[in-house]
Structure 1
């Protein structure tokens, strides 16, 4: 019986959890990441993006079946300058990807992040989701309304 258990266990593999894609700022053991400050900063960034792209913003309820969801990864320095940006996830809608990246660029410089959110290089890495309707207008996940429940 023991041989059967050992043989079964030998055939199993253990997959370690994936490494995080984005690192949180390094903090001393006595400090904790201020998640409230991070959330407030994310909202300020989203608000800036919306303010700088008013003609692209979807007002009202997003449709039930979105045209596209584009997740953009970007890095901000301590002055609010965008150091890098790229499409992190998409359904391949290149038009929506271009709109999302252009909206981010128009928003620069972004608000200055709180210093305690910066990593050792003085940067903060963020993700934001752009939710697109068929008409090419978007909402950001930070402020998105619930989607419609029926397909028109």
Structure 2
């Protein structure tokens, strides 16, 4: 296939440079196909996680405050006493909290596929919003803190949070 093009060069443009650009565009188009061109967006900026947010007493204290807050806001769903030996379900929820304690996002991170337990875990988290505001030294560079919590469900649908959970029963009853 022969393509002819007429180039007009003004006083500020070099005809040779313009021809090279056009040739490069046409060559790339025919070699790779115009439909196969991809545009790579610039990478997202990395979120810097402060050292205090990784396995620290401050993080443990905040995790405990959040767990207590969730339990206080959802008393009818909370299991009191000893969880049964074989739990009905374990639902791990990932959630992100902003500097004001607002839940920015939440999702089920790991589960055994118990839809009712997953729904209860996410609903009780949302019902607890806003959560206590996290200490500033735990926030990442976006002013947020990502956390995980485990909801441990008995057969009756009631749960304990792993952060506050009693030891499980050792015998099946």
TM-score over 0.5 (shorter chain): yes
1:121 has 2:137 as partner: no
Question: Take 1:83 and 1:55, find their aligned partners in 2: how far apart are those partners?
Answer: 25
Following TM superposition, by how much is the alpha carbon of 1:26 offset from its aligned partner in structure 2, in angstroms?
Answer: 3.0
Residue matched to 1:5: none
1:66-85 to 2 correspondences below 5 Å:
66-85=87-106
1:93 has 2:114 as partner: yes
Runs of 4+ in 1 over 4 A off after TM superposition: none
Deviations 1:100-149 (A, max 9, x none): 00000011000000011000000100000000000000000011011111
Residue matched to 2:80: 59
- Of structures 1 and 2, the one scoring higher in RCO (CA 8 A, sep 6+) is 1
Cα RMSD (Å): 1.5
Residue matched to 1:33: 52
Q: How many residues align?
A: 126
Deviations 1:34-73 (A, max 9, x none): 6111110000000000000000000000000000000000
TM (normalized to structure 1)?
0.80
Residue matched to 1:149: 170
Residue matched to 2:66: 45
C-alpha contact 1:63 1:148 (8 A) present in aligned 2: yes
Check 1:118–1:25 CA distance in 2 against 1; reply closer, same or farther (3 A cut): farther
Residue matched to 2:127: 106
1:128 is paired with a residue whose SS is strand
C-alpha contact 1:25 1:117 (8 A) present in aligned 2: no
Following TM superposition, by how much is the alpha carbon of 1:24 offset from its aligned partner in structure 2, in angstroms?
Answer: 8.5
Check 1:42–1:24 CA distance in 2 against 1; reply closer, same or farther (3 A cut): farther
Question: Take 2:87 and 2:47, find their aligned partners in 1: how far apart are those partners?
Answer: 31
Instruction: Mark the structure with the bigger radius of gyration.
Output: 2
Give unpaired runs (5+ residues) of structure 2: 1-45
